[in-house]
Chains A and B, each alone.
Chain A
């Protein structure tokens, strides 16, 4: 059986600077993982800015070509030769972006986005068909067409608008959603409604979600598997709970130590773990490293003694 999404040894490097000061930036280095068909899961990519998580997402969406390696969706490569193939792929893999206020044009009514998606991917012709598709998708995210029809982006709250963005992505009934930091721009009181929605999509509709975030707490809350990336390299990958309960790689430990917890409210525990920071930085320049498998199913980057 072919996998839903198969990423094998993917790398991406960019050329930076002019002719004289040209240097290569390795945004993503040798990443591999597979999402199975018929086993919906929330697969989380964790990393700080500059870790390559967004570049990886753009490559999965076919917006960026890998420098090396291959990404296959249901056995087909995601870099497409023509428009028909591209549209067919987009009906199956849909993105949700970080800031809903930037994703929607403020001068355009939000239901028009839903409408054009329905017409393009469902080949819906009559307005009744389009309306039904729009309403169906909005119901899945806890909204209805009556609430949204004719509204502009500024008339909805950040949480509602992000849900509209997810509803739009759900119109072609895709088996895979790519959500790039979908909650970091949403207000605190509305954030959990989005996170709970992603969980519901997986459990009730069988949609797999690639959830990209820097927030370990929500990652722990919803993910099945996680991959932690440091400067383009995977440092730890595997079952989410096992890794976040007991991170093994120093960088994973550093991330966990940096999470501000409300449990010690008022205790004033601050200050970064300097030893972990120094250790994980020093590992970046280690010449040889490989991913080793552990009994609980995780992969950890280990370094050859210098």
Chain B
């Protein structure tokens, strides 16, 4: 199962072009505008895991809300487009009607949410929740539906007895697997996963990640995987995009992003990961993420950037292609060096 030998199947399933989504508020005659998603252009290919990394209030949640077609005021798409291609059908989530969205939701476009406890209705058995979610999009009833669900839960290492349990009777890891099951039972082509493993313990987390990865490979679907944990991206994603203050600042294949980041923010994120077996002093980034209601002019990272020069304070750097598949938005990307060298893949860990 080498994922490099995937062949030429690199058609895009999602194309985002100059997407701008702002929170537009007008209270008591005072209007405020929060530019949560500001001019993002990217695409997601078929059969790939695209990781999105960003801090809290970087706009990553607003971005995936737009992608999941959950655009509610005050969030509004003010420019650009995000277009899904499912087979021969294309849907732009910014301009699609509610009926069109309804037709693709769960069947083609699905969403794994963060807190399993707030997704699952606490007073309904798991089996009933599956009926609520999946009966209509699947178009199955009775025992055929039940058979399909049980078979699918089997992939997630859950037995049929789960269907008669209430959410609180399951452990956190099992509950999260149930939410993954709900999101994937209709075999969607595109899955948005928002911090699906953040609340889990380390041992369970690795297991759940492997399950998501295996399901994705089996179904051949694409995943947008959002988390702030860079070590999860390192092991999960095919490509990673870094969002800072509402903008995509760097995007590259995972290994390349970790080995030779070309944006100072990425370089910092990678360097700040402590490793077992290494106690050298790790650099800490000072300052705080900018307020999106009044972002700094020019490059939004410049107040915290060690490389900032005059042009960074005045002009927004374009997202340039610096290597195949590798884009970065930095005026001085040629001078960005990895702060801590990433060790080559170790052949085997010596455990004496």
Contacts and interface: CB of A to CB of B under 8 A. Distances in A.
Do A and B come together as binding partners? yes
A270 B276 contact: no
Nearest to B207: A272
Contacts of A159: 288
A245 B277 contact: yes
Contact of B276 (A188, A214, A256): A256
B176 to A, nearest CB: 13
A48 B213 CA distance: 23
A260 B235 contact: yes
Interface string B312-352: 00000000000000000000000000000011011000011
Interface stretch (B104-112, B129-137, B265-273): B265-273
B186 interface: no
A262 B234 contact: yes
Given A220-B274, A244-B276, A265 B257 contact: yes
Nearest to B265: A189
A230 B253 CA distance: 38
B56 A187 contact: yes
Given A192-B283, A221-B279, A271-B210, A263 B203 contact: no
B206 A272 contact: yes
A171 interface: no
B255 A270 contact: no
Contact of A214 (B201, B235, B257, B343): B201
Given A48-B203, A187-B228, A266-B253, A193 B210 contact: no
A188 B195 CA distance: 14
B230 to A, nearest CB: 6
Contacts of B78: none
Contacts of B273: 217, 262
Interface in A240-279: 241, 244-246, 253-256, 258-272, 277
A264 B256 CA distance: 11
B71 interface: no
Interface string A76-116: 00000000000000000000000000000000000000000
A108 B258 CA distance: 41
A262 B258 contact: yes
B272 A218 contact: no
Given A48-B203, A221-B282, A265-B259, A188 B277 contact: no
A260 B288 CA distance: 26
Interface in A171-206: 187-193, 195-196
Most buried by A among B231, B256, B281: B231
B15 interface: no
Nearest to A215: B202
A185 to B, nearest CB: 9
Contact of A263 (B205, B232, B346): B346
Contacts of B342: 262-263, 265
B255 to A, nearest CB: 3
Contacts of B296: none
Contacts of B281: 196
A229 B351 CA distance: 21
A260 B284 contact: no
A33 B256 CA distance: 45
Given A264-B234, A272-B206, A188 B228 contact: yes
B274 A193 contact: no
Interface in A128-142: none
B202 A259 contact: yes
Contacts of B55: 187-189
B234 A260 contact: yes
A158 B203 contact: no
Nearest to A244: B276
A246 B269 contact: no
A216 interface: yes
B282 A265 contact: no
B249 to A, nearest CB: 12
A2 interface: no
Contacts of A193: 284-286
A202 to B, nearest CB: 13
Contacts of A216: 202, 276
B286 A214 contact: no
A272 B202 CA distance: 10
A191 B268 CA distance: 12
Interface of B: 3, 53, 55-56, 172, 201-203, 205-207, 209-210, 213, 228-232, 234-236, 238, 253-259, 265, 268-270, 272-279, 281-286, 288-289, 342-343, 345-346, 351-352
21 contacts: A158-B56, A187-B228, A189-B265, A189-B289, A190-B285, A192-B282, A216-B276, A217-B231, A221-B278, A245-B276, A246-B351, A255-B202, A260-B206, A260-B229, A261-B276, A262-B342, A263-B275, A267-B255, A268-B236, A271-B206, A272-B207
Interface of A: 48-49, 156-160, 187-193, 195-196, 214-218, 220-221, 241, 244-246, 253-256, 258-272, 277
A-B interface, 9 closest residue pairs, ranked by CB to CB distance from nearest: A266-B255, A157-B288, A193-B284, A265-B258, A266-B254, A270-B210, A265-B234, A48-B201, A192-B284
Given A189-B272, A260-B232, 6 more contacts: A157-B289, A189-B285, A193-B284, A268-B235, A270-B206, A270-B210
